[in-house]
Structure 1
Amino acid sequence: MELDQLTQNAISLLKSLIEKQSFSSEEENTALLIEGWFNEYKMSFKRTKNNVWATNKFFDDSKPTILLNSHHDTVKPNSAYTNNPFEAIVKEGKLYGLGSNDAGGCLVSLIATFTHFYAKENLKYNLVIVASAEEESSGPNGLNSMLAIIPKIDVAIVGEPTLMNLAIAEKGLVVFDAVVKGTPSHAAHPNNDNSIYNTISVLQWFKDFKFDKTSDALGDVKMTVTQIAAGSQHNVVPAHVDLVIDVRVNDAYTNQEIAAILQEKAPCKITPRSLRLNSSSISKNHDLVKAGISMGRETYGSPTLSDQSVLTCQSLKLGPGDSTRSHSADEFIYINEIEEGIEIYVELLNRVIIK
C-alpha cells in the first residue's frame, strides 16, 4: 500500500481511538480497535491483557531487534475541557480529543510505520511493536509486563510527543515519603519540639540541597517537595508531619544511588516508594541517532517520564506532537504532524534497517 493511503488510514484509526474511553487499566476497547488494524492488514499479532504486539513477518533470531512502542491508555480529562474529550473534532488542521497528542498520534504513526515494513525481507534489524497499556499510571500490566514475553530487544523507539526531535535521554523518577517527627501536645501548653515547626528547617534543606553530578543531556537532578500533611485537630500539636518528595533523576545517577544519598544526608526519615522508574539514554553514536541527526532532527534531554523508564536497553524517545499539550484541556495534535511523523519514522528506519 502507498504510504499516503497508510497515513490517512492511521489518522482514521486515531479518530476511532479518541472516541473510545481508554483510561489506564481500562483499555479493552482501544485494544480491540488496534487488533482490527492488524486483522485488516493480515499481520500476525498477539494480545497480552490490553497490550497488542507483533513481530515483522520475516523475524530472524540471529538479528538484533528494534522495539517500536507507544501507549493507548489516557489520563482522565480535566475539568477545563470545552470540547467533548471523547469526540474526534478536526478544526483548522487540528485533531482534538483526549489522547490525540499523548500519545495517540505517536501510536498510530508507529503502527503505520510497522505496517510499511512488516513484509519486507532481508532487513538488518527485526522489528517488534507493542501498543501498550497502563503507561500513564505506571501500572503492572503495561510495557514492563511485556519484556519477558516479547523477543529480546536491543534498542527501542518510544513514541511520545517530541515534535519529531530526538530525545536521547530521559529523566527517571523516584517518589519518596518523608516523616518529620516531634512531640505531640495540647496546643495550650509550651512545646519546643513542635513537628510542624521542625518541618521549616527540613523544607529549607530540601529546597537548598544540590546533587553533585550534572548531565550534558539532562542537566541537574531536580528534587521537589510536592505534598505535606499534618494534624487533625486545631488544639493538638501532631506527632509528625508527612512529606512527599518528587525526584527527577538524571543519567549520572542510578535510582539506588539517589536513595542512598538522601537516606544518609536528609534531616528526617525518608523512604523511596519504588526504584524501578530509571533514567534512560541512547548513545549519540547509535545508528538511529546518527540517522536522525543526518535528517536535520535536533537532540535534547527530556524531563518527562515515559515507558523508557522500564527498559534496560538503549532507547530513543521520538514522536509527533508537542509534550506541552499533554494532559491539557482540549488536547489536540496537528494532522500534518502525524503525516510528518510517519514520513520521518519511515525514512529513519530506511536509513538503519534496509540493506
Structure 2
Amino acid sequence: MTPKLTTDAIALLKKLIETPSFSSEEDQTALLIEDWFQNYHIDYKRTENNVWAINKYFDATKPTLLLNSHHDTVKPNTGYTKDPFMAIVEDGKLFGLGSNDAGGCLVSLMATFVYFYDHKDLNYNLVMVASAEEESSGPNGLNSMLKIIPKIDVAIVGEPTLMQLAIAEKGLVVFDAKVKGTPSHAAHPNADNPIYNSIKVLEWFKDYKFEKVSPVLGEVKLTVSQIKAGKQHNAVPAEVDLVVDVRVNDCYTNTEIVEILQKESPCSSIIPRSLRLNSSSIPKDHALVKAGIALGRATYGSPTLSDQAVLSCPSLKLGPGDSTRSHSADEFIYISEIEEGIELYIRLLQEIL
C-alpha cells in the first residue's frame, strides 16, 4: 500500500501546486483534498476551506492525536524564474509555490492518515485536518476548527523540518508603539522632535535582553521591524510609529511579555495586536519524541511560527522539506524528501499506535 500512497501523494502535491491557494482563497485546493479522501473511501467533512476526517474506528474513550498541515500559500515573490504555479520536476526536485511550505508535509501526513485509517485497536484516535489560512493566521484556519473537531490530546504539525523533531516553537507578539514629541515648523528650533526622541528608544530596543533564556528556544528575540513618521519635509510630526516583532520563548507567556514591555520600554505607548500566538512545546520524554529519537531523529527548537501557536496541547513540529526554502524564489522540495517523510511518519506512529 505504501508505494501507491506515495505515488498518489506526489501526484496530489503537483495538483496543489498548480492550483492557486492564497490564504482565505483555498476553495479550489480544498476540492482537490476532498477528491483525495473520496478516492480512498474516507468519510470526511469540510468546514470553510478546512477539510478533515477521523479514523474509521474512532473511540471516544481513547486519547486523540491530531495530524495537521496547511494548504494555503503566500503570494509568489518577484524573484521567481520558474512559473510558481507549474509543478516542474528537475534533478529530483519538485518546484512550485507551496511545494515545500507546506505541501510536501500535507500530502505526507494525508498518506500517513490513510495508512492507519481503518486499523482497529489503535492506542490513539487520529484526526487529520488539512487547514486553511495558516500563512495569514486568519480567523478561519485551524484555530476555528478546535471547537469542531474532537478534543485533541497531542498533535503533529506538518512543517518543513528536514524530518527532525522541533519539540518547541517560539510564539509571537506584534506591538504598535509610539514615540511622541512636539510638532513644529522645521525652520524653528525644537528640542522635542519625536524623530530624534526615537533614537534612544530604538537603541533601547536594540540592546534590551529578556532575562530568561530557554534551553531549547534560546533568548526572546525582539526586533523593530517598521518605522513611520512625518508627511512633509517642512513639518516636524507629533509622533513616530514603530512596529515591534517579539518572538517569545517557552519561559514566558505572551501576557508576561506585554507586562514587561509596557512597564520598562521608553515608548509613549506600546500596544499588542494579539496575544493568541503563544510558544508551544512537547516534553522530551513524550512517547512521540522518544519514538522519533529512536528512529535517529534529532530534537531542536524552532524560531518560526506555525499553527502550533493556536494549540493548547503538547505538539511536535515535524515534516519533510527545509524551512530555509519557505517563501523563497523557485521554492522546491526533493521527491526523496516526500518518500522519506511518509516512511518516517508511518514508522513513528507505529511505535505509539
Aligning the two structures, in what range does the TM-score lie when normalised by the shorter sequence? Answer: over 0.9
How far, CA to CA, are the matches of 1:189 and 1:13 in structure 2?
Answer: 66
CA displacement at 1:95 relative to structure 2: 0.2
Give the 4+ runs in structure 1 shifted more than 3 A: none
- Percentage of pairs with the same residue: 75
2:39 corresponds to which residue? 40
Paired letter, 2:312? T
CA displacement at 1:257 relative to structure 2: 0.2
Paired letter, 1:233? Q
Paired letter, 1:102? D
CA displacement at 1:118 relative to structure 2: 0.2
1:192 corresponds to which residue? 191
How far, CA to CA, are the matches of 1:93 and 1:304 in structure 2?
Answer: 27
How far, CA to CA, are the matches of 1:324 and 1:121 in structure 2?
Answer: 39
CA displacement at 1:338 relative to structure 2: 0.1
CA displacement at 1:246 relative to structure 2: 0.3
> SS where residue 65 of structure 2 aligns?
strand
Q: CA offsets per residue over residues 300-325 of structure 1, 9 Å max, x none?
A: 00000000000000000000000000
2:231 corresponds to which residue? 232
Q: CA offsets per residue over residues 248-299 of structure 1, 9 Å max, x none?
A: 0000000000000000000011000000000000000100000000000000
How far, CA to CA, are the matches of 1:194 and 1:21 in structure 2?
Answer: 47
How far, CA to CA, are the matches of 2:7 and 2:242 in structure 1?
Answer: 49
1:246 corresponds to which residue? 245
RMSD: 0.3
Equivalent residue runs for 1:90-101 within 5 Å? 90-101=89-100
> SS where residue 304 of structure 1 aligns?
coil
How far, CA to CA, are the matches of 2:201 and 2:227 in structure 1?
Answer: 12
CA displacement at 1:345 relative to structure 2: 0.1
1:283 is the counterpart of 2:283:
yes
Gap runs ≥5 in structure 2: none
Equivalent residue runs for 1:52-131 within 5 Å? 52-131=51-130
Q: CA offsets per residue over residues 128-176 of structure 1, 9 Å max, x none?
A: 0000000000000000000000000000000000000000000000000
> SS where residue 227 of structure 1 aligns?
strand
> SS where residue 224 of structure 2 aligns?
strand
2:340 corresponds to which residue? 340
> SS where residue 189 of structure 1 aligns?
coil
How far, CA to CA, are the matches of 2:160 and 2:170 in structure 1?
Answer: 15
1:293 corresponds to which residue? 293
How far, CA to CA, are the matches of 1:90 and 1:290 in structure 2?
Answer: 35
TM-score normalised to the size of structure 2? Answer: 1.00
Gap runs ≥5 in structure 1: none
Q: How many residues of Structure 1 are paired with residues of Structure 2 in the alignment?
A: 352
CA displacement at 1:125 relative to structure 2: 0.3
CA displacement at 1:75 relative to structure 2: 0.2
CA displacement at 1:349 relative to structure 2: 0.2
TM-score normalised to the size of structure 1? Answer: 0.99
